[in-house]
Structure 1
């Protein structure tokens, strides 16, 4: 096929473009700006646009499919030309479905845990040399591209994001995949710029469950009341398999999973990750991996990128970085670190970076989320609030929202750096939680703190 990408530079878009090129399709694309690592990845696969911008001449009648990224707007000249020519135009999830409609689609959904669960499943499949197609939202060790597509593989594993499909298609991505096998990990209100109420947000997951094909399978976290309610009440004729956190204990800085074959030391830690593991095990069993083989493989799983990723360690201190930014993720990650290191001081450093986290009303959802940390630092940029056109937030409001007994608030990255440089990290854990970069602080600067 000849396929053209409008807004090829996005993280997901450029990965799909590379996957299709590797599958043997002819790929072209355009964008008005492309940043790293997309720029270098596209260049190395010889599909980087020759010049930046949107050009009508990129669109011709011999194009089999046009894929539209979130960055493209309704008045995009290439899009208008494609419509005029009557070309087939797809959003990213629509095209993924087209590529997998004759396969068994396995979709991992939930407000939290879906990247880690998808990464666990991929790790197990790779360990046992079981070839599958996939799309995952974060880098995984040993996997060069986050999208892999073939003509021959039977399974397609998809991380099911609830965010919008494109600027023109306001449906959540995971509504379009029509899974044969689905997992629902948990529901915690997020993306308030798109889903203005909790009820509206929950409704998207009900639609997801109802989109499972007749006779399909739903694996769900029964410890989440909202998830359990949706699973129990759906009228969709599907099979349902609940899962819960398995028995485990922590010893000498290791999480030990209790199994029928004996105790199994793990590389990952935290109750939320053990819960994720339980869900991943069910999915892998439905994909042909038996329980013993799952345990053998999962013992060496170290986690997805930016999910409790160890940045640095000395004999007396360790630094972890995590993508956690929503309230449920912040609470779970902080609790996991304190459980793993009960005798160390936990210093949690959170950046408020997303639209939701910088909304004064939504900030109330963070109450108590840092309570498992001995010390807490919160950073946010007033400039980011202006860019997102939100109401200004004062430091006092942040303190009131979190209600942590030992909380410091920073609005300047240099002030945050100085505070950390003056901190005694002896017998401590520094937990960095952000979907941003703390106003430009590099990983190396954090590593040098201990």
Structure 2
């Protein structure tokens, strides 16, 4: 089977290309630019395009499928050629459905927590020797890549992203999977450039729940009122399994989960992560893992990449990096860090990097999100604001939106770096929240400054 990828270099796209190559398919692809680690990983398997750019001549009538990445444009020369030839064109999620339509599809959705929950499930299944197909949005410890596809596995676990499927398919990705077993972790308005109102955003999750295969199930966070409303509203004939935050306690920087066998020490922390764990347990039990085996496995789970990921620790300080950018994620991550280390000073730094976070109309949603931190800082790049064609922002606008006059606001990478290096090291937690890199901050150098090798 011949498959051609338009925009093969993306994080998700190159992982799918590698998975299909492993499956024995003949893979070709193009892109105008490919960054690391995609470039090296494609090159090792002989899948890196010889030249960057778009070459319609790569397409002919013998290609069985074209997979179109979000990075491509509607007028992409290769896409136009594929349409002219009448080739079957798939979005990324459409093709994943094609590969899994005869399997039991487990789809994890929600505005936040879906990568962590998917990672927890895959960790527990692997620990217990249960082989499944999967697609997850982060590189996991112990897993070669983010996508794995086989003919023989009965289950596939899919992280259900609500972002758009392709330049020519504006449906959210998770609308296309038709889950047998689904989970919904939380709903908090995001992607306002795509979903201009909260009502419009909420509707996408209603469609997701309504798309569950009849007789299937929805495991849902009953502590989130919007999730509960969506699940209660559906007329779909599915089973409903609510979950909430389990009992736990934090003792001297260690989180213990309450179980029938007594307190269980776990590596992850924070109320939101304990809630994630409860949801993952329900899903694993539906996939045949009993409670005791789940607890034994989850006690060794260290977290998903960039999700409260510990970068290093010395005797006097500890540094975490988190992908958090939406208001709900920022608030949950900051609170979790303070709860885990109540006797340490918390320096919380947030980079505003996405379209929503840099939009003046959305900024007020960040009110109070950093309040529990002892030192609070926000970094943003005026160039990013301009590139996104948004109105310029001022430091005072951001302080007003956060309702925090003590908030430090930086637009210059060097000044932000100087601020970090001037912080007291002793008894301090540094929490770096960003989907970017603070204008080029050298994290290894900063760890070295803290005495962390």
Whether the TM-score (by the shorter chain) exceeds 0.5 is: yes
CA contact (8 A) 2:120 2:280 kept: yes
- In the alignment, what sits opposite 2:410? 410
CA contact (8 A) 1:374 1:406 kept: no
CA contact (8 A) 1:303 1:309 kept: yes
Question: Does 1:279 pair with 2:279?
Answer: yes
Matched ranges for 1:92-111 at <5 A: 92-111=92-111
Root mean square deviation, CA, Å: 0.7
CA contact (8 A) 1:420 1:449 kept: no
Task: Give the whole-Å Cα distance in 1 for the aligned partners of 2:442 and 2:24.
Answer: 38
- In the alignment, what sits opposite 2:270? 270
CA contact (8 A) 1:4 1:29 kept: yes
- In the alignment, what sits opposite 1:131? 131
SS of residue matched to 2:264: strand
Question: Does 1:210 pair with 2:217?
Answer: no
- In the alignment, what sits opposite 1:325? 325
Task: Give the whole-Å Cα distance in 2 for the aligned partners of 1:32 and 1:264.
Answer: 49
Question: Does 1:156 pair with 2:165?
Answer: no
Query: Any runs of at least 4 consecutive aligned residues in structure 1 with deviations exceeding 2 A, and if so which?
Result: none
Matched ranges for 1:284-433 at <5 A: 284-433=284-433
Deviation at 1:83, TM superposition (A): 1.4
TM-score by length of 2: 0.98
* TM-superposition CA deviations, 1:189-232 (whole Å, max 9, x none): 00000000011000000000000010000000000000001111
- In the alignment, what sits opposite 2:50? 50
Aligned length: 450
CA contact (8 A) 1:115 1:159 kept: yes
- In the alignment, what sits opposite 1:34? 34
- In the alignment, what sits opposite 1:176? 176
- In the alignment, what sits opposite 1:190? 190
Task: Give the whole-Å Cα distance in 2 for the aligned partners of 1:390 and 1:9.
Answer: 28
- In the alignment, what sits opposite 1:86? 86
TM-score by length of 1: 0.99
* TM-superposition CA deviations, 1:39-65 (whole Å, max 9, x none): 111101110001111111100111111
Task: Give the whole-Å Cα distance in 1 for the aligned partners of 2:139 and 2:311.
Answer: 16
Structure 2: runs of 5 or more not aligned: none
**Greater Cα offset, 81-90 or 354-363:** 81-90
Task: Give the whole-Å Cα distance in 2 for the aligned partners of 1:404 and 1:291.
Answer: 44
Deviation at 1:159, TM superposition (A): 0.2
Structure 1: runs of 5 or more not aligned: none
Deviation at 1:405, TM superposition (A): 4.9
SS of residue matched to 1:439: coil
Deviation at 1:161, TM superposition (A): 0.2
Question: Does 1:444 pair with 2:429?
Answer: no
Task: Give the whole-Å Cα distance in 2 for the aligned partners of 1:8 and 1:355.
Answer: 24
Task: Give the whole-Å Cα distance in 2 for the aligned partners of 1:449 and 1:376.
Answer: 20
* TM-superposition CA deviations, 1:340-398 (whole Å, max 9, x none): 00111111011000000000010000000001101101000000000000000000001
